[in-house]
Amino acid sequence: MKNILVIGSTGQIGSELTMKLRREIPGATVVAGYIPGAEPKGELLESGPAEIADVRNAAALADIVTRYQIDTIYNLAALLSAVAEKKPLLAWDIQINGLLDILEIAREKGCAVFTPSSIGSFGPETPHDGTPQDTIQRPRSMYGCTKVATELLSDYYFHKYGVDTRSVRFPGLISHVTLPGGGTTDYAVEVFYAAVKGEEFICPIAAGTYMDMMYMPDALKAAVDIMQADPDRLVHRNSFNIASMSFAPETLFDKIREYIPDLRVRYEVDPVRQAIADSWPDRMDDSCARAEWDWAPAFDLDTMARDMIAHLSLRFAHTR
Ligand code: SER
């Protein structure tokens, strides 16, 4: 990993991953790819090159790869699960037609490619507790369909053409830098903002609904470590279960109340998100990631909640 293109560099993951790669990979050039309307700002803009990188414009992507001699592509462009239900054809276009173009560019120019998969790649028939690495998937959401196809296409390009594709199945990601946009797990981010600002939180997911979640520093570490893993140890590639915590909404709210006792919550369940959440794993088994590339998360529910509250309290100190 020396010359890296991050597609989706201003999104929830990209905005932090781009900065981490710039800080931590010695001598690396990390190009912040973005789409018009989501331009990089501040430190992200000032700390390295930025280019328009729309996955629906293959010629422009190929040009960036050539000009910067890109060897690794982080392909983070995606519509999340709830938005993808509203715009299924656009989700397919970005997530699959876009991916195919990236894989073709990678094949021609010799790039490694990371395209995340998700808990969303699983479905109602998947074993929900201790979800194995290799198991029935069959999601019913368009997001899930694109994620399964992503896993299959990425493995296809590895087996057929030797393209170095690797990936992880992200849980719901909790972070304080950039908000997620339109996912089923977003509630677990948004409630922290409400708690810190002293606002009532309307929860779209029913009490008792367990989903895998992860704090962003662990997710970023996974994205970097998997691309640096010894390929000889990898039995799997696309895509590894990774896990660190699993909770239902009320467990998270009780945890936040240990630090912000006056958090107010009302449930107004969104049937679209609830159906998606019900079809996803409660808790994934990540033993293959642990065995094949030494995956180990650092944050649990308590350390994540304390860190989130500390960061957001600083940012919103004036609003309470
Ligand atoms: N966080 C995503 C979503 O909720 C799942 O990967 O759509």
Look-up: residue for tokens 């946009």? 181
- What is the average pLDDT across 274-288? 97
Q: CA-to-CA distance for 75 and 17, rounded, in angstroms?
A: 11
User: What pLDDT, on a 0 to 100 scale, did the predictor assign at position 320?
Assistant: 64
- Amino acid in the structure at residue 248: A
* pLDDT one-digit tens code per residue, 82-134: 999 999 999 999 999 999 999 999 999 999 999 999 999 999 999 999 999 99
CB atoms inside a 10 Å sphere around CB 176: 20
- Amino acid in the structure at residue 157: Y
User: What pLDDT, on a 0 to 100 scale, did the predictor assign at position 273?
Assistant: 96
CA geometry: angle 160, 163, 169, nearest 5 deg: 100
User: What pLDDT, on a 0 to 100 scale, did the predictor assign at position 317?
Assistant: 83
> By alpha-carbon position, which residue is closest to atom 2 of ligand 1?
183
- What is the average pLDDT across 274-289? 97
pLDDT above 70: residue 52: yes
Q: Is 107 helix (H, G, I), strand (E, B) or coil?
A: helix
User: What pLDDT, on a 0 to 100 scale, did the predictor assign at position 41?
Assistant: 96
Query: How many A from CA of 69 to the centre of ligand 1?
Result: 32
* pLDDT one-digit tens code per residue, 194-214: 999 999 999 999 999 999 999
Atom of ligand 1 nearest to the CA of 280: 5
Average pLDDT, the chain: 97
Per the annotation, the verdict on 161 as an active-site residue is no
When computed from its CA atoms, the radius of gyration of the chain, rounded to whole angstroms, is: 19
pLDDT above 80: residue 319: no
| CB 164 within 8 Å of CB 112 | yes
**Which helix H or strand E contains 178, and what residues bound it?**
none
pLDDT above 70: residue 261: yes
Which of 34, 143, 157, 210 does the annotation list as catalytic? Answer: 143
- What is the average pLDDT across 69-79? 97
Token readout for 125 is: 């028939």
> By alpha-carbon position, which residue is closest to atom 6 of ligand 1?
118
Token readout for 275 is: 């159906």
Query: How many A from CA of 272 to the centre of ligand 1?
Result: 13
- Taking phi over 0 as left and psi of -120 to 50 as alpha, with beta for the rest, 162 belongs to left
pLDDT above 80: residue 54: yes
* 146, 185, 216, best to mutate for ligand 1 pocket (most atoms within 8 Å of CB): 185
Q: Is 251 helix (H, G, I), strand (E, B) or coil?
A: helix
Token readout for 116 is: 């995340």
Ligand 1 pocket, CB under 6 A:
80-81, 118-120, 143, 170, 172, 183-185
